Structure 1
Amino acid sequence: MGLSWQQGPLAPGAVGQFLVPGTLHERLLYAEPLRRRMRVRFAGEWIADSEDVILLFEPGKYPVAYFRESDIASHVLKRSEHKTRHGDLGPTEWFSVQSSETEVARAAWRHVELPSYAEVLKGRVAFAWRAMDGFYEEDERILGHAADPYHRIDIRETSREIVVRYEGGVIAESSRPLVLYESGFAPRWYIARADVNESAITAVTHQTFCPYKGICSYFDIGAAKLAAWSYPEAYSEVARISGMLSFEPDRVEVMLDGKRLHAEPGQNVVAHGPDRGLTTDEVKPVRK
């Protein structure tokens, strides 16, 4: 998922490789300026507002935003006795985050004895994503985690033939699917509902959330649980797949131009951690 998550180049399960002589350090951390205005809301108040945010990428983790203390409201950080040690960045002190009526323990942190190579984080504070009301770029809330600038989605039309079968029966057949290419994932093939045998799929209550596509709904096919999924109201950036179905090739038979697809590296999705108190209503597209 982007640079350091899922199978990105800095992730533990990277699908590619660095073409360099010798062996790279086992853990590569990467920091860069966000170059976007980011704000943080807590207990109904804006507590941080900055155009000088640093994103830290750690292997296997979502990117984390670090703010200059001068861009944080003076009353919100309360130093605690809790201290930890980061394996790469050294001792870490923790803060409670407080407002006039609310206080949340261990909701922010700062690395206090950084090695020389990590000086870019000196004096900067990060907030626990779930402990805040929300993080914003300008006036738009960013859901799930800080936006990864290395995460990309491309959707392409294709005339390739795709057939989905389960126990010998045809579930879907199309020569007009869309293929979705997403950073860190193998291609996903989406089929229009008109090309799906609706009587063969059963909607279930299970839902997941993708910060880049929205709320995902699932379907069982016979005994094959969660074998298909759909984004009923995909975010505007990927609206072309709204309402279309995609199928798990390790749960049903998916044939593309006569060749059976199989689960491959990047095909198994690792669920995103939710925001604090996040509900499906909060992440639905806003109608203006």
Structure 2
Amino acid sequence: MADTIRGRVKVEQGQKRVRLYLQNKLVADTLRPLLVWEVPYYPTYYVPATDVLADLKPTGEAEHSPSRGDAQVHDVLIGGLTAAGKARTVPESPLEELRDAVRFDFDAFDWFEEDEPVYTHPRDPYSRIDVLASSRHFRAELDGVVLADSPNSMILFETGLPPRYYVPITALNQEVLRPSETVTHCPYKGAATYWSVQVGDQLSKDLIWIYRTPFAEVQKIGGLAAVYNEKVDIYLDGVLQERPKKRY
């Protein structure tokens, strides 16, 4: 299948086996997933209707998209379980490939690409991650207070995102760290845990994160900590870096 682009939506035939589960009940199993870039930054999956094992019950609700057409909202029923309003179909979409496909809300199900779990959204085949050792001196500050200071770092370069600088936990200013219960998942790196930062009376939530057991592809950042570039002042070899703007 050739790529299709209409408006800002790109559709591409995926090559991976994709399965999704609802509490261990197999909802769909396909060798023909569609990667659909509804936003420019990452894709979502649409599953051919013939590869859906669950029952889809229309709710009577509809959602409009100028590029994808009017979507019909469905409940997903499988093995006595119901995921209310967690599937959509677009039978009259201007994008022909989507007319016989189902879009499942990613966060409502457990997803697998081949036999490995995937979190947050599908992996973008056009994204690349490189982790490179750097001897540039790294320092991060918030309101003039040093948060991290290290003579070197591991720099993670990810397509479409600003570089992230990972340093040893011992390079962090332990006095300002406050534990956080937040856990997030990245489809490329794994599960991250966080610290908030207390500077004076101001608590900045979830400002520093760490991947303690990252995926094999990015093992070099395992056990290292990174600070949000967008929210702090970062110096490399003493030169203040411009703060990147949030992408989404």
Bin of the TM-score, shorter chain as denominator length? 0.7 to 0.9
Structure 1 segment 113-152 matched on structure 2, within 5 A: 113-115=92-94, 118-132=95-109, 134-152=110-128
Secondary structure (helix, strand or coil) at the match of 1:238 reads: helix
Q: Percent identity at matched positions?
A: 25
Secondary structure (helix, strand or coil) at the match of 2:127 reads: coil
Residue 30 (structure 1) shift: 0.2
2:153 to 177, 184, 202: 177
Q: Is the 8 A contact 2:41 2:160 kept in 1?
A: no
Say whether residues 1:239 and 2:216 are aligned partners. Answer: no
Q: What does residue 275 of structure 1 align with?
A: none
Cα deviation code 1:22-53 (max 9, x no counterpart): xxx8x421000111000111243212111111
What is the letter of the counterpart of residue 117 of structure 2? R
* Structure 1, 209-218 or 29-38: larger mean CA deviation: 209-218
Decide whether aligned partners of structure 1 residues 149 and 108 sit closer, same or farther in structure 2, where only a CA change above 3 A counts.
same
1:76 to 35, 43, 55: 55
Structure 2, unmatched stretches of 5+, are none
Secondary structure (helix, strand or coil) at the match of 1:98 reads: strand
Residue 143 (structure 1) shift: 1.1
Measured in 1, the distance between the counterparts of 2:244 and 2:103 equals 35
Q: Higher strand proportion, which one?
A: 2
Measured in 2, the distance between the counterparts of 1:148 and 1:257 equals 33
Secondary structure (helix, strand or coil) at the match of 1:263 reads: coil
Measured in 2, the distance between the counterparts of 1:100 and 1:251 equals 46
Structure 1 segment 1-80 matched on structure 2, within 5 A: 27-59=7-39, 62-73=42-53, 76-80=55-59
- How many equivalent pairs are there? 239
Across the aligned residues of Structure 1 and Structure 2, the Cα RMSD in angstroms comes to 2.7
Decide whether aligned partners of structure 1 residues 77 and 228 sit closer, same or farther in structure 2, where only a CA change above 3 A counts.
closer
Decide whether aligned partners of structure 1 residues 41 and 202 sit closer, same or farther in structure 2, where only a CA change above 3 A counts.
same
Secondary structure (helix, strand or coil) at the match of 1:96 reads: strand
Measured in 1, the distance between the counterparts of 2:32 and 2:108 equals 22
Measured in 2, the distance between the counterparts of 1:218 and 1:269 equals 22
What is the letter of the counterpart of residue 160 of structure 1? R
Residue 108 (structure 1) shift: 1.4
TM, length-normalised to structure 1: 0.72
Structure 1 segment 77-92 matched on structure 2, within 5 A: 77-92=56-71
| Higher relative contact order (Cα pairs below 8 Å, separated by 6+ residues) | 1
Measured in 2, the distance between the counterparts of 1:92 and 1:65 equals 15
TM, length-normalised to structure 2: 0.83
Say whether residues 1:99 and 2:78 are aligned partners. Answer: yes
Q: What does residue 202 of structure 1 align with?
A: 177
Measured in 2, the distance between the counterparts of 1:36 and 1:108 equals 21
Q: What does residue 237 of structure 2 align with?
A: 257
Decide whether aligned partners of structure 1 residues 229 and 129 sit closer, same or farther in structure 2, where only a CA change above 3 A counts.
closer
